[in-house]
Amino acid sequence: MSEKRDFFGLERGEVLGPYRARLDAADARAYLDATAASETPGSPESWLPPLQLGALLLGTLIDAIEIPPGLLHTGQSFEFLRPVAPGTSLTAELTVAQIAERRGLRLGTVDLELRDAEGACAVGRASVLAPLPAASGGPA
């Protein structure tokens, strides 16, 4: 994992990553047990649960940036393009799609992509906002 980026220093178009991961059947079973999620067709030995891939992408975002005080996760969306087998080598890449500052808040939108050897297997977008530090026009 590379060094964490300061949320207030992120710029539109900036790419974070690549980050590498590999989830096996035991990881899938642990995810299903922890979330009480229903299994996908097949079993954790056949396919990773799609929302586990989304959780991996969000976890990568959390690991990639310094979380400032007051940061709110305001939304997310995912599209799962095809099944992923346990043990597959995965690469996550995050691209800062939008950054804006309004009324003492910094808003950021990040595009998320998870790939394997065949290409993209999951894509998504996450939006966050945080109060600007007082020195840069945020709330005192």
Q: Total structural domains in the chain?
A: 1
Q: What does the pLDDT average to over 12-31?
A: 92
Average of per-residue pLDDT values in the chain = 89
Classify residue 86: in a domain, yes or no: yes
Residue 5 falls inside a structural domain: no
Residue found under tokens 């939008």: 98
| pLDDT band at 109; cut points 50, 70, 90 | very high
Taking 60 as the threshold, does the pLDDT of residue 58 lie above it? yes
CA 5 to chain centre: 14
In DSSP notation, 92-137 reads EEEEEEEEEEETTEEEEEEEEEEEETTEEEEEEEEEEEEEPPGGGT
Would you say residue 27 lies in a domain?
yes
pLDDT tens digit sequence for 117-134 = 999 999 999 999 999 997
The answer to whether residue 89 scores a pLDDT higher than 80 is: yes
Determine the Cα–Cα distance for residues 19 and 83; give it in Å rounded to an integer.
20
Evaluate whether residue 44 is within a structural domain: yes
pLDDT over 60 (residue 79)? yes
Mean pLDDT, rounded, for 93-115: 96
Structure tokens at 99: 């950054």
Domain extent, residue 98, equals 11-136
Q: Is the pLDDT of residue 49 over 70?
A: yes
Q: Which CATH number is 64's domain given?
A: 3.10.129.10
The answer to whether position 3 is within a domain reads no
Classify residue 88: in a domain, yes or no.
Answer: yes
- In this structure, is residue 122 part of a structural domain? yes
Q: Is 25 inside any structural domain?
A: yes
